[in-house]
Amino acid sequence: MAGDQKPRLPRVTVLHEYIGHRVFPVSPSTTVRDVKRLIHEEADIPVAEQRLFHRGKALHDGAQMETLLPAGSQEIFMTLQGRGLRGGGRFGQTTPPLVEFLKDILRRYPEGGQILKELIQNAEDAGATEVKFMYDETEYGRESLWSEAMAQHQGTALYVYNNAVFTTEDWNGIQEIARSRKRDDPLKVGRFGIGFNSVYHITDVPSIFSGDQIGMLDPHETLFGPHESGQCWNLKSDLKEITELSDQFAPYIGLFGTSGKTVKDGSFPGTLFRFPLRVKPSQLSSNIYNKEKVLELFESFKADADTVLLFLKSVQEVSLHVRESDGTERVLFRVTASENADLKMERPNSLKSLALAIDSYSNGVPCGTVTCATYQANIETQDETTKETQRTTWLVCNGVGGRGMCCELDSLADDLKFIPTIGIALPLTLIDVDKGATSGFSGRAFCFLPLPPGEESMTGLPVHISGFFGLTDNRRSIKWREVDQWRDPSALWNELLIVTVIPRAYFTLIMEAIKRVQAKEDQEFPLSARGTYGAWPDPSKIRPRWRPILEPLFQDLLQQPVIYSLSDAWMTVDDVVFSELDEGEKSTEVVIGYLQGSGVQVARVPAAMDIVLTGYITAPRDVKKVTPALVRQVLRKAKHKGSSQEKLVLLEFVLSDACYSDLIGLELLPLQNDTFIAFSSSVNDKDAVYITSEDFPRSLYPGLEGRFVLESIKPSVMTSIKDASKSRVQRLFWGYSGRFDGSKRSVPGIN
């Protein structure tokens, strides 16, 4: 909220029992007849049938606004009376009284920690960098007040401070509760209009101190006169009145940098909201607030405070405070976002590139790609009550869709005043190498700030996703197309955003994580090479609404070198062989070692990756795995040169699938003389190899150690060799002549 130096135009507020409140900015020379024309344009009430009253007196059409302005104020309130339609009585739809309108908002917008988030959103829109909440037990004086009725609002209150200043548009916007000015600026987070009004769960008389003005809102219209729903004071033009009503304005002095000097200087370089707690039921709400309930609000906020700042561009610190009745102030909790010292410019540079992409999209500049920018963020929470400090590190990728990527998306963006922006955050410090995100982490949906926790905000992804989503009226969940609202534009927008922008931003996030692991750009980068698999979605866990992300994501991802081999190399799926062997088995080390020594790139991935590899690899590509057939194939090209023990392990492995016809040529048949020969298809008697039995032990054949299978091999291996010698295929190819009598088993060349 940079200060606005332009002179402020007078504002005419017209009150009417049917059309409600209408506000028109006008020049001092504007006449009453001009105002009637504005009313006709907006409410379609004929000029001739309008009668405008000011302070109970009918106004002449020629009267100018400058003659009606109260001293030191730019606000004019008028009441409109109209005769209705010609030829009949009153007719037309009406708006409910202000209190009823606000009660409806409160019914749809449940109380809780989301109230604090809405106020953080307001600060984010304003460009503030810090937000402070304070529960204040101070009881202020009740003598010099605007009216006796103000005394009940001089007690305990919730304060909210941010270090930005209200603009003229902000002052106007906060008064127009039925229409959010932020709709005209799609970059504003709190663009839905009802967020601020959720504070009426807590208070009946919210007030704002910002820049050179203090404003109080009174929806009951009982404090400042009939049909007056608030009052505003200017620190310069109303200084005399502010000084005289010292008790009335004491609650705004002495907190978050305010002082008596601030008032005398005529400007406060920030914004301070004051919400005196409701101590008795009112027409607006029967909800009574006390210290316990405010602290419950604080606890509700703390539950997901570690993610509140993840996708915000401006606000980088939020803190919770308490000021006791004796003036003692304590910090209860603080959450801050920061960058690593050696990556200080990474986030600002990323935000600049995103801002340029957003400007280009808004201005209709064609771009066929998603603009992505990635940075690392550290979120630290400090709980002074428990003396606990927690620090999480995130890799955040933001993406902006290009104009022209999807014509339907562009059309909806123009109609809805939306921008196709997406943010994805990977929790680097919460990744388990084998299981992905730890059990304590659940990917959630954000609309800049986290949506309320619950089933509707869960995605089943190992990342948090924030988007410029279309939300339900109460801002609690994302809109989806249903049978009864199939053509809802906001719901359709959400579905298009999921299949166009999210997959590309997600792809960029994973590739950037791999790049940082490879380059070691940040020596504190906490993710390991295998930990990058934790960023991959698990198709078995992802919620149905988000499944459309998978196909376009994996289609791009599986073309890239994203598999980390056991030889410490990044490979494509086509260039690697996947091992599913039990790491606890000694034979696994031998098999993998042989393959790697033969130039084969072997990788081991988490079990969830199997679903990805089998479900999203397009034919005719096949996923290669470590199998007996693969090892036999490699053995034919690269003979094993290791120890006899390793050869025996390989023999056991290649026999394990009982595919005996594929053994020909493998030099793995162990003989009693500690040598190995190749399995052969020769039928020559000289090539025959024998297997002894109890009836025909080897002692009956002295000097023929080179003709007998090694007796000391594992029984299971011997059984497999015997099965091989008896198989029909081996009889055909290994020279079995049919004279098998049980005394010896025919292996290669036995006759």
pLDDT at position 728: 41
Tell me which residue of 582, 570, 424 sits closest to 506, measured CA to CA: 424
Given the DSSP bridges, would you call strands 207-211 and 268-276 parallel, antiparallel or unpaired?
antiparallel
Distance CA 718, CA 725 (A): 11
Tokens 């289609």 — which residue?
555
- Burial class of 552 by CB neighbour count within 10 A (0 to 12, 13 to 18, 19+): middle
77: β partners: 13
Q: What angle do CA 246, 5, 164 make, to 5 degrees?
A: 60
* String of DSSP letters for 317-361: EEEEEEE-TTS-EEEEEEEEEE--GGGTTHHHHHHHHHHHHHHHH
- 3-state secondary structure (DSSP) of residue 127: coil
Q: Any residues with CB less than 8 A from the CB of 502 and at least 6 apart, and which?
A: 399, 422, 424, 465, 467, 549
Distance CA 1, CA 354 (A): 21
Distance CA 360, CA 11 (A): 35
Distance CA 240, CA 81 (A): 36
pLDDT at position 2: 42
- Omega into 715 within 30° of 0, i.e. cis? no
* Cβ proximity of 601 and 545 under 8 Å: no
Tokens of 408: 């339907």
Please state the pTM of the whole predicted model: 0.80
Q: Any residues with CB less than 8 A from the CB of 176 and at least 6 apart, and which?
A: 23
Low-confidence ranges of the chain (pLDDT < 50): 1-5, 85-90, 181-183, 189-192, 728-751
Distance CA 217, CA 177 (A): 12
* Cβ proximity of 414 and 396 under 8 Å: no
Q: Any residues with CB less than 8 A from the CB of 416 and at least 6 apart, and which?
A: 470, 489, 490, 493
399: β partners: 372, 422
Alpha helices (runs of H) in 24-178, residue ranges in sequence order: 32-43, 98-108, 114-126, 168-173
Distance CA 519, CA 648 (A): 41
Tokens 């026999």 — which residue?
655
Distance CA 440, CA 404 (A): 40
Tokens 């290791």 — which residue?
642
- Burial class of 721 by CB neighbour count within 10 A (0 to 12, 13 to 18, 19+): buried
Given the DSSP bridges, would you call strands 669-670 and 676-677 parallel, antiparallel or unpaired?
antiparallel
Residue type at 154 in one-letter notation: Q
Distance CA 471, CA 195 (A): 13
* Chain centre to alpha carbon of residue 672: 66
Distance CA 593, CA 585 (A): 13
**What's the start-to-end Cα distance of the chain, in Å?**
97
Q: Any residues with CB less than 8 A from the CB of 520 and at least 6 apart, and which?
A: none
* Chain centre to alpha carbon of residue 710: 63
Question: In what helix (H) or strand (E) does residue 296 lie, and over which residues does it extend?
Answer: helix 291-302
Cα dist from 64 to 29, 30, 335, 538, whole Å:
5, 5, 53, 68
* Cβ proximity of 423 and 397 under 8 Å: yes
Count of beta carbons in the 10 Å neighbourhood of residue 515: 12
Tokens 């996030």 — which residue?
509
Tokens 């260039």 — which residue?
575
Relative orientation angle of helices 407-416 and 489-500, to the nearest 10 degrees: 130
Quote the strand ranges of 451-540, DSSP E: 464-467
Distance CA 546, CA 460 (A): 8
Distance CA 453, CA 675 (A): 68
Distance CA 37, CA 376 (A): 55
Distance CA 465, CA 427 (A): 12
Distance CA 443, CA 457 (A): 9
Question: In what helix (H) or strand (E) does residue 452 lie, and over which residues does it extend?
Answer: none
pLDDT at position 407: 92
Count of beta carbons in the 10 Å neighbourhood of residue 85: 13
Q: Any residues with CB less than 8 A from the CB of 525 and at least 6 apart, and which?
A: 376, 428, 516, 517
* Mean confidence (pLDDT) of the chain: 85
- Region of residue 627 (phi > 0: left; psi between -120 and 50: alpha; otherwise: beta): beta
Tell me which residue of 564, 556, 420, 432 sits closest to 496, measured CA to CA: 420
Tokens 């080179």 — which residue?
706
Tell me which residue of 262, 289, 268 sits closest to 278, measured CA to CA: 289
Q: Any residues with CB less than 8 A from the CB of 454 and at least 6 apart, and which?
A: none
Domains of the chain: 11-82 (3.10.20.90), 98-335 (3.30.565), 339-557 (no CATH), 563-626 (no CATH), 643-746 (no CATH)
DSSP state of 273: E
pLDDT tens digits for range 127-171:
999 999 999 999 999 999 988 889 999 999 999 999 999 988 888
Tokens of 244: 């005289």
| Phi, psi values for residue 169, rounded to 5° | -65, -35
Count of beta carbons in the 10 Å neighbourhood of residue 267: 15
Count of beta carbons in the 10 Å neighbourhood of residue 580: 12
